[in-house]
């Protein structure tokens, strides 16, 4: 019969053996992985899925601050059509990358990467947790892997392409892009004038397809330790939410917002004027604004937003770091519990 003394000796020996095994395993881990990286939570999902509400609750629970990964929320005055967080929400939880630019300023993926990385640093210095929230796959991919590499802009070439877009129309340039790089053209739309022009600029300067850019092949970065979640809903449920959101935006005064922005120079920035909701609103304001015109505006607005949601789903299916969560399958408490459990386990990782 084993005595309590023998059992104690065996436990000490077992603990010593386990510690030795852990030490040996630790030696085999590269030094850059042994060094604990700062944590960043990423919440992505299609438009209207419910990302912002969940992110606010999560930030309250863990002492987080939100970094917007939206290409339009950086512009002052573009509030309703971008579903920008309200003043009350921004007071409830600190938000970053909101209202950074005027309508005549340029903000691109490289700008986003620099601002988002700096925001993470500032938040970490306050011993808070950065929570990146948005549906822009292009921006979030840059956050994870770094901004796309490519030749710097060429002023003369850019001016020529912009002039062609203005005179011939973005559709003509998009068709040219389809001929030169069909794979990249499929990831954007005919209305993404800025991206079309930049893609043609890259192709002409480098002689390489944008879709072959090494940026798409980059491995997981070591600057931050990302935990990535993608919120989704069944298509019928998601599209219902999309339609309802569009209707709510119009009721909240989207058209008046567009009129105000138009007077401030919205039309002079093709990138902003082509944004979903704003493009359809600008077209409506050119009509006689009859009831039939209004219904056409609302339906095209809804359709364009549903198409955006579909493109977002397609993009993130190719992103390997994301864990998908169905917001119709689980209640908010369960979703938050899943993320919090993962976060707590994550705190103890090497």
Quote the pLDDT of residue 249: 98
Quote the pLDDT of residue 193: 82
Q: Scan for tokens 């395993």, then name that residue.
A: 25
Burial (CB < 10 A; 0-12, 13-18, 19+), residue 312, is buried
How far is Cα 131 from Cα 134, in angstroms, rounded to an integer? Answer: 10
Architecture of the domain whose range is 151-212: Orthogonal Bundle (1.10)
How far is Cα 285 from Cα 150, in angstroms, rounded to an integer? Answer: 38
**Torsion angle of C-alpha atoms 302, 69, 274, 210, degrees rounded to 10:** -120
In tens, the pLDDT along 263-293 reads: 999 999 988 999 999 999 999 999 999 999 9
Nearest to 336 by CA among 327, 345, 349: 327
How far is Cα 24 from Cα 42, in angstroms, rounded to an integer? Answer: 33
Quote the pLDDT of residue 270: 85
Quote the pLDDT of residue 170: 86
List all residues 6 or more positions away from 84 whose beta carbon is below 8 Å from its beta carbon: 73, 78, 98
DSSP of 129-187, one letter per residue? EEEEEE--HHHHHHHHH-PPP-PPP-HHHHHHHHHHHHHH-HHHHHHHHHHH-HHHHTT
Quote the pLDDT of residue 122: 97
pTM of the predicted model as reported, rounded to 2 decimal places: 0.78
If phi over 0 gives left and psi between -120 and 50 gives alpha, with beta otherwise, what is residue 133? beta
Burial (CB < 10 A; 0-12, 13-18, 19+), residue 206, is middle
> Domain 35-149+213-346: which CATH class?
alpha beta
How far is Cα 43 from Cα 110, in angstroms, rounded to an integer? Answer: 20
Quote the pLDDT of residue 271: 86
Quote the pLDDT of residue 35: 52
Quote the pLDDT of residue 256: 98
Q: Do 214 and 145 contact (CB within 8 A), yes or no?
A: no
Quote the pLDDT of residue 22: 47
Q: What is residue 77's three-state secondary structure?
A: coil
List all residues 6 or more positions away from 78 whose beta carbon is below 8 Å from its beta carbon: 72, 84, 257, 261, 272, 275, 278
Intervals of the chain under pLDDT 70:
1-35, 213-222, 346-350
Q: Any idea where the domains of the chain sit in the sequence? A: 35-149+213-346, 151-212
């Amino acid at each position: 019969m084993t005595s309590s003394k023998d059992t104690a000796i065996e436990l000490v020996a077992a603990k010593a053996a386990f510690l030795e095994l852990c030490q040996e395993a630790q030696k085999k881990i590269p030094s850059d992985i042994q060094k604990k990286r700062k944590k960043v939570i990423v919440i992505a999902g299609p438009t209207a899925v419910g990302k912002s509400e969940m992110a606010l609750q999560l930030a309250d629970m863990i002492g987080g601050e939100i970094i917007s990964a939206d290409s339009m929320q950086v512009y002052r005055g573009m509030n309703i059509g971008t579903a920008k967080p309200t003043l009350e929400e921004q007071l409830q939880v600190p938000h970053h990358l909101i209202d950074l630019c005027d309508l005549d300023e340029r903000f691109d993926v490289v700008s986003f990467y620099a601002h988002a990385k700096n925001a993470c640093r500032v938040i970490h210095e306050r011993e808070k947790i950065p929570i990146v929230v948005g549906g822009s796959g292009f921006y979030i991919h840059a956050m994870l892997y770094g901004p796309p590499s490519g030749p710097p802009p060429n002023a003369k070439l850019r001016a020529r392409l912009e002039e062609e877009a203005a005179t011939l129309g973005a559709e003509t340039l998009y068709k040219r892009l389809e001929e030169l790089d069909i794979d990249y053209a499929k990831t954007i739309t005919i209305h993404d004038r800025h991206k079309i022009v930049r893609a043609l600029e890259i192709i002409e300067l480098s002689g390489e397809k944008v879709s072959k850019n090494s940026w798409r092949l980059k491995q997981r970065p070591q600057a931050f330790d990302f935990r990535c979640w993608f919120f989704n809903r069944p298509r019928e449920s998601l599209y219902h939410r999309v339609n309802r959101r569009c209707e709510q935006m119009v009721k909240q005064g989207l058209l008046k917002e567009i009129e105000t922005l138009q007077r401030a120079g919205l039309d002079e920035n093709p990138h902003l004027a082509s944004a979903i909701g704003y493009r359809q609103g600008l077209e409506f304001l050119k009509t006689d604004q009859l009831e039939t015109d209004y219904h056409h505006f609302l339906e095209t607005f809804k359709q364009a937003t549903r198409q955006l949601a579909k493109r977002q789903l397609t993009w993130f299916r190719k992103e390997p770091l994301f864990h998908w969560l169905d917001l119709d399958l689980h209640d908010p408490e369960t979703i938050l519990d899943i993320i919090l459990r993962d976060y707590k386990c994550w705190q103890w990782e090497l």
